């Protein structure tokens, strides 16, 4: 069966569908790491679908997102998390809290370190917390396509002095180098048990939510300075048309009238370009025609508004 269903659907898990010669295994694996270490890129590669948005800017991911992969008789439920950093705003605190609770609820944690960047303050904060919690983690030095081998070995040694890691992998989420080894090892580590999701489901996020993320990805890619961080995107309407296409209405919230003017751009050129790229991406993802309508609204306090947190599936009470 093609693994085609993105979000939750009404089909109950078919627990008999797995290889009945081998007992099934199932469990959660949290991907944790500093912002920009490559967690979302790796999640997409492990699952074989674009689920999580990826940009060169830090703090792209704002909430936990499940990506579900199958490795022989094991269902691996990967948890993409926001990067762990020193939070300043309420939104940051909620993001970091979501990341840690993702790690705590998981059977295994995989710490990603950007090998080109090495051990920075954020990574040190994570290794300190792992050590304090007495938590063993698997380590993946990521982005090895950008780093010489000698540097990798010394980085692995330095990290092993910070916390307990077993084993250590060297991978590139971008090229896929080493990723299958990590996946196999994780599958073997997970406990025996029935699969928790239908075998064709690849994420817990709804199509509405992923669609909002795709537009937010363009906001991150096409806007700069404080704007990506001052914006959030929500899907307000989703209408399946009889001709097979879908009409999607989304709101881009910003905090200031001046920011709204920048998002719109001169004669609406910027929002048009954000919409055009997001629509292309959505059509690829949903495999149908998409009519995308974007509205830009000023909500000075959106980053303090419980409704916006709920849309991001973040805990407001941080
Ligand atoms: N060269 C190289 N770049 C990578 C690799 N993995 C990710 N990147 C790039 O690193 C940047 C950040 O990737 P993300 O996957 O968004 O990182 P993240 O850890 O999810 O970031 P946050 O969500 O902000 O915490 C993007 O520009 C990716 O293309 C890799 O293996 N090699
Ligand atoms: Mg991410």
Q: Per residue in 210-225, pLDDT tens?
A: 999 999 999 999 999 9
Cα of 35 from ligand 1 centre, angstroms: 9
Predicted confidence at residue 1, as pLDDT, reads 32
Confidence of residue 16 (pLDDT cuts 50, 70, 90): very low
Q: Which residues line ligand 1 (CB under 6 A)?
A: 33, 35-41, 54-56, 58-61, 82-83, 142-143, 145-146, 172-174
pLDDT > 90 fraction of the chain, expressed in percent and rounded: 92
- 39: exposed, middle or buried (Cβ count in 10 Å: 0-12, 13-18, 19+): buried
Work out the percent of the chain whose per-residue pLDDT is above 70.
94
Name which residue sits closest to atom 1 of ligand 1, judged by CA.
143
Q: CB atoms < 10 A from the CB of 146, how many? A: 13
Taking residue 1's Cβ as centre, other Cβ atoms within 10 Å add up to 9
Residues in the chain: 318
State yes or no: pLDDT of 17 exceeds 60.
no
Q: Which of 170, 124, 121, 161 is nearest to 143 (CA)?
A: 170
- Residue 227 pLDDT > 80, yes or no? yes
Quickly list H helices, the chain: 39-47, 90-105, 121-132, 149-160, 179-189, 207-222, 257-264, 269-286, 306-311
**Burial level of 12, CB count in 10 A (0-12/13-18/19+)?**
exposed
Provide the token pair at 283: 């059509």
Which of 9-13, 101-105, 173-177 is least confident? Answer: 9-13
Instruction: Report the C-alpha gap between 173 and 153 in whole angstroms.
Output: 18
| Interatomic CA distance for residues 293 and 247, integer angstroms | 8
Cβ contact 43:240 at 8 Å: no
């Amino acid at each position: 069966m093609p693994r085609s269903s993105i979000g939750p659907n009404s089909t109950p898990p078919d627990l008999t569908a797995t290889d009945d010669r081998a007992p099934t295994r199932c469990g959660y694996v949290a991907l944790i790491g500093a912002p920009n270490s490559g967690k979302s890129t790796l999640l997409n590669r492990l699952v074989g679908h674009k689920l999580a948005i990826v940009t060169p800017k830090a703090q792209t991911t704002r909430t936990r997102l499940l990506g579900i992969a199958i490795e022989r008789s094991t269902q691996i439920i990967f948890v993409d998390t926001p990067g762990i950093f020193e939070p300043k705003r309420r939104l940051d605190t909620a993001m970091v809290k979501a990341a840690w609770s993702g790690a705590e609820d998981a059977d295994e944690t995989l710490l990603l370190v950007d090998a080109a960047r090495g051990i920075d303050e954020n990574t040190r904060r994570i290794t300190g917390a792992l050590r304090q919690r007495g938590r063993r983690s698997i380590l993946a030095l990521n982005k090895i396509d950008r780093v010489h081998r000698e540097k990798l070995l010394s980085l692995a040694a330095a990290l092993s002095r910070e916390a307990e890691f077993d084993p250590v992998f060297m991978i590139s989420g971008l090229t896929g180098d080493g990723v299958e080894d990590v996946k196999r090892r994780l599958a073997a580590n997970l406990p025996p048990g029935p699969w928790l999701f239908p075998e064709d489901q690849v994420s817990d996020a709804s199509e509405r939510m992923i669609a909002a993320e795709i537009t937010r990805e363009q906001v991150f890619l096409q806007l700069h300075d404080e704007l990506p961080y001052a914006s959030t995107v929500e899907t307000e309407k989703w209408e399946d048309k009889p001709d097979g296409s879908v009409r999607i209405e989304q709101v881009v919230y910003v905090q200031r009238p001046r920011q709204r003017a920048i998002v719109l751009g001169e004669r609406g050129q910027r929002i048009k370009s954000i919409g055009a790229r997001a629509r292309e991406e959505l059509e690829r993802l949903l495999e149908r025609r998409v009519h995308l309508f974007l509205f830009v609204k000023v909500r000075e306090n959106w980053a303090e508004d419980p409704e916006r947190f709920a849309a991001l599936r973040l805990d407001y009470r941080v």
